[in-house]
Structure 1
Amino acid sequence: MAIRRSALTLAVAIVAGFGALVVPASAAPNPLQRTEPTYSYANAIRETVWVDTGLSAPNGARVRVAADIIRPSEVTSGVPVIMDASPYYATLGRGNESQKKTYDSAGKPIQFPLHYDNYFVPRGYSVVLVDLSGTARSNGCVDIGGRSEIASAKSVIDWLNGRATGYTTATGTATKTAGWSSGAVGMIGKSWDGTIANGVAATGVDGLKTIVPIGAISSWYDYYRASGATFTSGSPTGLTQVVENAQGAANCASVKSTLTNGSPSTGDYTAMYRERDYVQSASRVKASVFAVHGLNDLNVKTINFGQWWNALPPTVERKIWLSQTGHVDPFDYRRQVWVDTLHKWFDHYLVGIDNGVEDEPGSTVEQSPDVWEDDSSWPPAKSTTTLRLTPSGTAGVGTLGATAPPSGTTAAFTDNPKIGEYDWINNPTATSASRLAYRTGALSSPIRISGTSQITVTATSSSSAARVSAVLVDYGPATIRNYRATGEGIRTLSTRSCWGESATGDSACYLDTAANTTSVTQNVIARGWSDLGHYAGLETRRNLSPGTQYTITFNLATTDQTIPAGHRLGLVIGSTDSSYIAAAGSSPRLVVDLSKTSLRVPLVGSI
């Protein structure tokens, strides 16, 4: 567990009698237990600075990114910073209500999306919302988590610490400094925003004290590919067109060409993806990490948080929240507890308050709708259980357990790219032409799968290319969050609740939400995909020789699921999972050598 900090590292505001008094860092002990809403939100300073990233756009112009700032007018120094760097402020918007930035006729920012400004500015924080390069009011190009986007946020942190140049306009020469800033920055954001937080933390930049990545990518390869298999959800070049501004569309053809060429349909792990793989640089992270992810997030797959978490240095102080939702912000599934926890987290890491948040449970996991379980650390599983596939008297069906089948035991199926996992898991005791199904007996006691499972499959293919997919299934009745429906496990209500202070043009009141649940008799709890032609590595896809055995090992989605007593754990193996991946170009027959196939599961309990 993290070491508790007792000394102040930053200036803190002490609520005393007639207002706020700023005291130096040498003052000790710190009498504050939490920051309070002492400052005027209505009178807060709202301004924009354009920060030089140190990079040049393809047209030769220096890239400046727009950072919209709101900060207390009563404090002129020592103000901590909450930053959300995003490509979405002028396009899709942020939050459940898709809020966008708004400005007055002079270009001064009016609406700051989300509740961070409403809640934290009265408590003495500044909020800085950065437009990533090539989006909204920033110039340059959208490069999908690449060098320019990471520099977009990193350069603003440098400016807040006096190491970069900021300007009063997008193209002018008048400069602006951040003398009001304490230099302590916490980055937060969901999806692409949280992804940038991961990427900037992986640079080890000084001044970044904490990150709160929510549903964030840790490797862009794993957003578009899975062990060589290609997701059907889009392409890097297509994503640029969703968020880029007019100058980006006009000037960034060369960047788009790099993205297209670096993302071949072969599924290879290229230099383009390597640049956008923050896991390989996780050893540089110094900031604390409060990671949040939906265990049923089928947009940013959960392998992204699992591999990031595992790669963080042991010295990094950390905390994790895992929900049963899909791609959803915790503000929309556990609002009161989330705001309170985030408040304590920022107070500790950005203000220096010794409130003990680092000694609280390091893991909070939603076990069933609105039922949460705390653990001291994550994952709680300390060992890996190897499970084998043993056939029964029914072709393609068998037992999942500790006993290995005799050498040379095989089972076969034929790829049907028109169906996928939600078809495969049906009728698990019957033969299917398109998948294999293996289940444990009814569990005598609950088990908990917590972490990243891994499967090794040995198979022959009747054609030169083939996909191999695997899904873990909880077979048994349950009420779950309806993560496949609109809202991905939540429903939006007509009532509103307020979180902080409002001003004209920026309300602190947001639509309430509640869990959206459904009853099931079986539920996929983890899935993984691969291209068999990447059996020798991700860098190059190889053609398969029909009839030749190939062995591939790949990860399933990171998860944390408790399977009740009386249920069965199932493993289903198929080929093209039509809901998520593209076919290999044919419909091969796959013969799986069960004696050389195994599943390794991070397990609490026993089967």
Structure 2
Amino acid sequence: MRVFRGLCAAVVVAAGLVVPVQAASAAQRPAVGSEPVYDFAGAIRETAWVDVGRDGDGDGKPDRVAADIVRPAEPAAQGRKIPVIMDASPYYSSLGRGNESEFKTYDQQGRPVGFPLYYDNYFVPRGYAVVLVDLAGTNRSTGCVDVGGASDVQSAKKVVDWLNGRATGYSAKSGGSKVAASWSDGGVGMIGKSYDGTIANGVAATGVAGLKTIVPISAISSWYDYYRSDGASFGFDPDGLAETVETRNGGQDCSAQNAKLAKGATANGDYGPFWAERDYAAQAKNVHASVFVSHGVNDLNVKTINFGQWWDALGKAGVQRKIWLAQTGHVDPFDYRRAEWVDTLHQWFDHYLMGVDNGIETQPMATVERQPDQWADQSSYPAAGVKATTLRPHAGATAGVGTLSTAATSGTASFTDNLDGSENGWAATPSATSPNRVLYSTGSLSTPLQVSGTSSITVTATPSTSSARLSAMLVDYGPASIRNYSAGGEGIKTGTTETCWGSTAPGDDACYKVTSADTTNVGFTVISRGWADLANYRSLSKESPLTPGKPYTMTFRLATTDHVVPASHTLALVIGGTDADFITGPAKGPKLTIDLAKTSVQVPLVGTAPAGPGAALPRTALSSVANRPQLDLR
């Protein structure tokens, strides 16, 4: 069964039409949102190949990227220009887009027919053009992928330039005649999930004129933090991703470029020039576009530090921002809160691309999923009243198990890295000694504590060998029903019925399978985690040899989140060595002795943290979701 939403009228209706206004004053801006008054079936579908001014595949010719365009015919016939919604992706012919893995399709003449996702179906009838760009080296574009580097970013930036009359487009992949985007008003909004949203971040960080807004969904802000974590390696590298997305684009030899990727992404986890080129958070001061972020707080693929550091850097740059945070893993909000997402996105684009005075910029800054399908608005993110709070571990009667409070502490604790540990194994028996981790908890809370923002931990550890890894996590102990983010759907189930979002044309369906929350009951929830190589204690740019028996102090980040630990639950800190589900370990696992007086965790809290020890945690084994991360960057 299909349910239709927002169907386009079959003919053009003048009443209620919103004419794009880019520079109108507040008094002049229209207050009525864009309506579906344009004929989608009769929309213009075409391709422009934009010269990006690079020769990434070394064939002696400038690379051209394919920009597939669908736009309503009526505005151009009336001499009016329209804004653009753009999704630049490497996946249009390799992995597909969306929950149903849609691909681009073309007719026998090579003209675009099928546009993945609902953006064209919904927004073209409302007066927008939708442009889907193949990154260099993918689908119908020439060149090579460089996984977030200059080629990827320029692939999309040059299309923004072309839409503003600053770059050259052609009617063919090679040769052809010059084509201009005379129908474009120059205003561009970029959107996309994962790699696509990452490119939106990268283009915004160039400060390119004409980019009015971006909507990065589960996106990377620094490629270092996708492949590495404070010196530790997640065990996979960018050249593998490049080869995956280039597989269906014949004609280019990208072996030289891929070799550069392999060489640049050094295995030792040091942060160097390769990663700096791909660090958009460090370039956030250049961003002029507004930013609407969406991310799952349980995303173990594009880990949440990516939205956290991006969000903070954008705030320092004075960028207008909005954020949605779900309990899901790597999932698009269209697939966990469909109607509300489409409505909010519609208002966002209407405001920032058409100048509609709909008040979206004055609505609550943050919307957070507290329990499956239960949402709460916040006036700010991190939450209002948040305070950086230092919690310290205290030794208890049981070895390796103690309390966590704001009070000063002393003593030591030890564990051995067996190179095969995992967060669920470390957390499952919180009151028992483990040879492979230490655990400190607040005891039962009398009032709730909200963790909102990015935590960090400072550890002083003495290794028994010349190399060592550290893993740390914050755990909410207490029964809860959560989205099953480690299952195949990462917190959603896909049904068989469909709802339709916009207009359908031959070869371009607007209908998508309904999804629902996939939930599970747990005894504890890991709410934040982080990893580090102790050899990077001095600097992320260069590791230093460790001397066995000598103490080293290192501070590293834990994942960004927004989570309420309810009253009667317990907040705990767990410290271990190699978490084998996430990072690669050293050649030999060391014994690590923790100096408790010089170890602490800094947590952004709303509420009052315990100043003294609390009650012990239960002795029974507890369960959580499986924690092996999903590694499909779609």
The 1:297/1:17 distance shift into structure 2, 3 A limit, reads: closer
Q: Which amino acid in structure 2 is aligned with residue 61 of structure 1?
A: K
Q: Which amino acid in structure 2 is aligned with residue 385 of structure 1?
A: T
Q: Does the 8 Å CA contact 1:475/1:521 hold for their aligned counterparts?
A: yes
2:95 is aligned with 1:88: no
Q: Which amino acid in structure 2 is aligned with residue 71 of structure 1?
A: R
Matches within 5 A, 1:380-395: 380=383, 381-395=385-399
Q: Which amino acid in structure 1 is aligned with residue 52 of structure 2?
A: T
CA distance in 2, matches of 1:508, 1:21: 24
Q: Which moved more, 1:568-577 or 1:254-263?
A: 254-263
CA distance in 2, matches of 1:604, 1:85: 38
The 1:432/1:374 distance shift into structure 2, 3 A limit, reads: same
Q: Does the 8 Å CA contact 1:139/1:248 hold for their aligned counterparts?
A: no
The 1:17/1:484 distance shift into structure 2, 3 A limit, reads: closer
Number of the residue aligned with 2:444: 442
Q: 1:456 aligns with which of 455, 458, 466?
A: 458
Number of the residue aligned with 1:476: 478
CA distance in 2, matches of 1:590, 1:20: 65
2:62 is aligned with 1:33: no
Q: Does the 8 Å CA contact 2:218/2:294 hold for their aligned counterparts?
A: yes
Number of the residue aligned with 1:220: 223
Q: 1:561 aligns with which of 548, 552, 563?
A: 563
Instruction: State the shift of 1:254 in Å.
Output: 2.1
CA distance in 1, matches of 2:268, 2:105: 42
Q: Does the 8 Å CA contact 1:142/1:248 hold for their aligned counterparts?
A: no
The 1:372/1:433 distance shift into structure 2, 3 A limit, reads: same
Number of the residue aligned with 1:333: 336
Instruction: State the shift of 1:585 in Å.
Output: 1.5
Q: Which amino acid in structure 2 is aligned with residue 221 of structure 1?
A: Y
2:264 is aligned with 1:265: no
Instruction: State the shift of 1:586 in Å.
Output: 1.0
CA distance in 1, matches of 2:20, 2:560: 45
Q: Does the 8 Å CA contact 2:24/2:355 hold for their aligned counterparts?
A: no
Number of the residue aligned with 1:60: 60
Q: 2:173 aligns with which of 170, 186, 191?
A: 170
Matches within 5 A, 1:295-306: 295-306=297-308
Q: Does the 8 Å CA contact 2:475/2:527 hold for their aligned counterparts?
A: yes
CA shift digits 1:171-202 (9 cap, x unpaired): 01401000000100000000000000000000
Q: Which amino acid in structure 1 is aligned with residue 379 of structure 2?
A: S
2:149 is aligned with 1:150: no
Q: Which amino acid in structure 2 is aligned with residue 103 of structure 1?
A: Y
Q: Which amino acid in structure 1 is aligned with residue 119 of structure 2?
A: Y
Q: Which moved more, 1:506-515 or 1:254-263?
A: 254-263
CA shift digits 1:473-518 (9 cap, x unpaired): 0000000000011100000011100000001111101000000000
2:128 is aligned with 1:125: yes
CA distance in 1, matches of 2:354, 2:16: 21
Instruction: State the shift of 1:467 in Å.
Output: 0.2
SS in structure 1 of the partner of residue 189 of structure 2 = strand
Q: Which amino acid in structure 2 is aligned with residue 60 of structure 1?
A: G
2:408 is aligned with 1:404: yes
Number of the residue aligned with 1:45: 44
Instruction: State the shift of 1:16 in Å.
Output: 3.8
Q: Does the 8 Å CA contact 2:390/2:406 hold for their aligned counterparts?
A: yes
Q: 2:185 aligns with which of 176, 182, 185?
A: 182
Q: Which amino acid in structure 2 is aligned with residue 302 of structure 1?
A: T
Q: 2:419 aligns with which of 417, 420, 439?
A: 417
SS in structure 2 of the partner of residue 62 of structure 1 = coil
CA distance in 1, matches of 2:487, 2:197: 24
The 1:404/1:43 distance shift into structure 2, 3 A limit, reads: same
Structure 1 unmatched ranges of 5 or more? 1-13
CA distance in 1, matches of 2:23, 2:459: 58
Q: Which moved more, 1:557-566 or 1:26-35?
A: 26-35
CA distance in 2, matches of 1:18, 1:462: 73
2:250 is aligned with 1:251: no
Q: Does the 8 Å CA contact 2:19/2:354 hold for their aligned counterparts?
A: no
Number of the residue aligned with 1:69: 69
CA distance in 2, matches of 1:299, 1:23: 39
Matches within 5 A, 1:592-607: 592-607=594-609
Number of the residue aligned with 1:500: 502
Q: Does the 8 Å CA contact 2:537/2:552 hold for their aligned counterparts?
A: yes
Q: Which moved more, 1:55-64 or 1:118-127?
A: 55-64
CA distance in 2, matches of 1:175, 1:537: 50
Instruction: State the shift of 1:270 in Å.
Output: 1.6
Number of the residue aligned with 1:8: none
SS in structure 2 of the partner of residue 523 of structure 1 = strand
Instruction: State the shift of 1:263 in Å.
Output: 1.3
Instruction: State the shift of 1:253 in Å.
Output: 2.0
The 1:60/1:541 distance shift into structure 2, 3 A limit, reads: same
Number of the residue aligned with 1:3: none
Q: Does the 8 Å CA contact 2:94/2:248 hold for their aligned counterparts?
A: no
Return structure 1 stretches of 4+ with deviation > 3 angstroms.
14-28, 245-250
The 1:18/1:569 distance shift into structure 2, 3 A limit, reads: closer
Instruction: State the shift of 1:247 in Å.
Output: 6.0
The 1:273/1:314 distance shift into structure 2, 3 A limit, reads: closer
CA distance in 2, matches of 1:293, 1:311: 16
CA distance in 1, matches of 2:549, 2:323: 46
Q: Does the 8 Å CA contact 2:83/2:188 hold for their aligned counterparts?
A: yes
Instruction: State the shift of 1:416 in Å.
Output: 1.4
TM-score normalised by the chain length of structure 1: 0.95
2:74 is aligned with 1:99: no
The 1:229/1:71 distance shift into structure 2, 3 A limit, reads: same
Number of the residue aligned with 2:201: 198
The 1:450/1:540 distance shift into structure 2, 3 A limit, reads: same
Q: What is the count of residue pairs matched by the alignment?
A: 591
Instruction: State the shift of 1:382 in Å.
Output: 3.0
SS in structure 2 of the partner of residue 560 of structure 1 = strand
CA shift digits 1:45-87 (9 cap, x unpaired): 0000000011122222201000000000101132110000000
Number of the residue aligned with 2:624: none
CA shift digits 1:151-170 (9 cap, x unpaired): 00000000000000000000
Instruction: State the shift of 1:25 in Å.
Output: 6.2
Instruction: State the shift of 1:89 in Å.
Output: 0.2
Instruction: State the shift of 1:18 in Å.
Output: 10
Q: Does the 8 Å CA contact 2:493/2:518 hold for their aligned counterparts?
A: yes
Matches within 5 A, 1:352-367: 352-367=355-370
TM-score normalised by the chain length of structure 2: 0.91
Q: 1:378 aligns with which of 377, 381, 393?
A: 381
The 1:542/1:22 distance shift into structure 2, 3 A limit, reads: closer
Q: Does the 8 Å CA contact 2:30/2:357 hold for their aligned counterparts?
A: no
The 1:23/1:221 distance shift into structure 2, 3 A limit, reads: closer
Instruction: State the shift of 1:30 in Å.
Output: 3.7
Q: Does the 8 Å CA contact 1:140/1:248 hold for their aligned counterparts?
A: no
SS in structure 2 of the partner of residue 55 of structure 1 = coil
The 1:216/1:547 distance shift into structure 2, 3 A limit, reads: same
CA distance in 1, matches of 2:540, 2:15: 63
Structure 2 unmatched ranges of 5 or more? 1-11, 610-634
Q: 1:294 aligns with which of 267, 285, 296?
A: 296
Root-mean-square deviation (Å): 1.6
2:275 is aligned with 1:276: no
